[in-house]
C-alpha cells in the first residue's frame, strides 16, 4: 500500500483530494501548518471526519520571514500564495523523507485562482518546493502531466479527477458523490487575504521590520494606533481582548489603564518617549468611563515598575487620525 502525505487545510478541496486517494486504498495522512495568519482548527475537524491521521506543525518564525519578502511577490493584499504553497510542500517533503511517505498531494485546482493556480504557478510551486517529482494534485491530475506516482502504479490516474476553473459546483457535486456532507464555506482561512488585517501588517512591516510572531498576534486585538515611527498603542475593546493584550505584553512593553474607572487596557510597544506615553494615556482615557473629565490618572506598568500620569482624555477626532486601518 502506498502512503501519501497531503496539505490539509480543512476546506472542501483538500478534503476531496484526500478522499479521492483514500478511496483508491492509499494510506493517507494530512499535515497542517500553523502560523499567526492561519491555524489548524479546520484541518483537525476535517481529518476527524475523513478518519485520517493529522500532523500539525508550527512554522510561525520561518513563515513570517517569508511573508516579509516573498520571492514571487504578493496577491491582492499581502498573500504570497506561490511562496507559501512552495514552503509548505518543502516542509511536508522533509516529513515525507523522514517518515517514509511515497508522495505529497494537495487540493489545488487548475485555474481556480488565476494568479496562483494556473499551470505556470503550479509548476513554479512544485519546482521551488524541492520535490517536483513527488507532488500530485488529485482534483486536476488528469489535466496535468502524468506524474511518477501514476507511472509507477502507486496511483490510478483514471480514478483521479479533471476539475478546473473557479466554479465550486463541480467540487460540490463530487462531494455529494463521495458522501462528504459537512465542509466549511470557501475563503476566510488566511488573514493575509483580508484587507483590514493587512493594513495593520503593512504598518508593522514598515515601522518594525524585525517584528516577531508575537508582534503579529497583537495585530489581531483591539484598536491599533500609530503614536510615532517607533511606537504603537494597542487598545482593548472588551474584557477578552484586554486579557489577551496583557498576556502578550513583553518585558519592554508598557501596559496602561485608567485609575478609578472601568475602561480598556492599552499596550505601548516600541521605544516610547514621554510624549508618546502622554498621547497613549490620552487615548486610553478617552475610551474609559472618565472620558468626560478634564483629567484622569493613568496607571502604567512595565515589568516590575509601576507609575502614573495625569492626562486629559484625547478628543475622538484626534485619536482617529492615529488609527491604523
pLDDT at 115: 67
Separation of alpha carbons 147 and 319, rounded Å = 58
275, three cell numbers: 510624549
What's the residue count for the chain?
Answer: 325
SS3 18: helix
Closest to 70 measured CA to CA, from 37, 103, 42? 37
Q: CB–CB of 222/256 below 8 Å?
A: no
Separation of alpha carbons 96 and 317, rounded Å = 55
Q: Where are the CATH 3.40.50.620 domain residues in the chain?
A: 3-190
Q: Which of the residues in the chain have pLDDT under 50? A: none
Per-residue 3-state assignment (H helix, E strand, C coil) for 110-121: ECCCCCCCCHHH
The dihedral through the CA atoms of 132, 135, 137, 138 has a sign that is positive
9, three cell numbers: 487545510
Helix (H) / strand (E) element for 297: namely: strand 296-302
Q: CB–CB of 214/248 below 8 Å?
A: yes
- Give the strand order in the sheet containing 3-7: 54-58, 27-34, 3-7, 103-105, 135-136
Q: CB–CB of 258/284 below 8 Å?
A: yes
Q: Which residues contact 238 (CB under 8 A, 6 or more apart)?
A: none
pLDDT at 286: 96
- Considering the segment(s) 3-190 as one domain, its CATH architecture is 3-Layer(aba) Sandwich (3.40)
State the residue for C-alpha cell 475523513. Answer: 50
SS3 60: helix
pLDDT at 116: 67
Q: Which residues contact 300 (CB under 8 A, 6 or more apart)?
A: 254, 255, 256, 277, 281, 306, 307, 308, 309
Q: CB–CB of 277/254 below 8 Å?
A: yes
pLDDT at 119: 86
State the residue for C-alpha cell 468626560. Answer: 292
Amino acid at each position: 500500500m502506498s502512503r501519501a502525505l497531503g496539505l490539509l487545510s480543512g476546506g472542501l478541496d483538500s478534503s476531496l483530494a484526500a478522499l479521492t486517494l483514500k478511496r483508491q486504498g492509499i494510506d493517507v495522512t494530512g499535515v497542517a501548518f500553523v502560523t499567526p495568519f492561519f491555524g489548524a482548527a479546520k484541518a483537525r475537524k476535517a481529518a476527524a471526519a475523513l478518519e485520517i491521521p493529522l500532523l500539525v506543525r508550527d512554522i510561525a518564525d520561518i513563515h513570517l520571514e517569508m511573508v516579509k519578502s516573498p520571492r514571487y511577490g504578493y496577491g491582492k493584499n499581502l498573500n504570497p500564495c506561490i511562496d507559501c504553497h512552495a514552503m509548505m510542500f518543502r516542509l511536508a517533503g522533509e516529513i515525507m523523507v523522514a517518515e517514509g511517505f511515497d508522495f505529497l498531494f494537495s487540493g489545488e485546482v487548475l485555474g481556480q485562482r488565476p494568479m496562483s493556480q494556473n499551470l505556470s504557478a503550479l509548476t513554479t510551486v512544485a519546482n521551488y518546493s524541492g520535490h517536483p517529482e513527488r507532488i500530485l494534485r488529485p482534483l486536476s491530475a488528469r489535466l496535468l502531466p502524468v506524474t511518477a506516482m501514476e507511472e509507477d502504479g502507486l496511483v490510478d490516474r483514471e480514478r483521479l479527477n479533471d476539475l478546473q476553473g473557479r466554479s465550486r459546483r463541480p467540487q460540490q457535486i463530487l462531494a455529494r458523490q463521495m458522501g462528504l456532507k459537512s465542509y466549511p464555506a470557501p475563503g476566510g482561512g488566511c488573514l493575509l487575504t483580508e484587507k483590514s488585517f493587512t493594513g495593520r501588517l503593512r504598518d508593522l512591516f514598515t515601522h518594525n521590520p524585525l517584528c516577531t510572531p508575537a508582534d503579529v498576534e497583537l495585530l489581531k486585538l483591539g484598536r491599533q494606533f500609530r503614536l510615532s515611527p517607533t511606537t504603537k498603542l494597542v487598545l482593548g475593546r472588551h474584557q477578552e481582548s484586554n486579557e489577551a493584550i496583557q498576556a502578550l505584553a513583553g518585558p519592554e512593553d508598557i501596559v496602561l489603564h485608567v485609575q478609578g474607572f472601568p475602561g480598556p487596557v492599552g499596550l505601548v510597544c516600541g521605544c516610547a518617549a514621554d510624549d508618546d506615553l502622554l498621547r497613549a494615556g490620552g487615548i486610553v482615557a478617552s475610551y474609559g468611563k472618565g472620558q468626560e473629565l478634564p483629567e484622569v490618572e493613568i496607571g502604567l506598568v512595565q515589568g516590575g515598575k509601576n507609575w502614573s500620569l495625569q492626562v486629559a482624555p484625547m478628543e475622538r477626532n484626534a485619536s482617529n487620525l492615529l488609527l491604523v486601518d
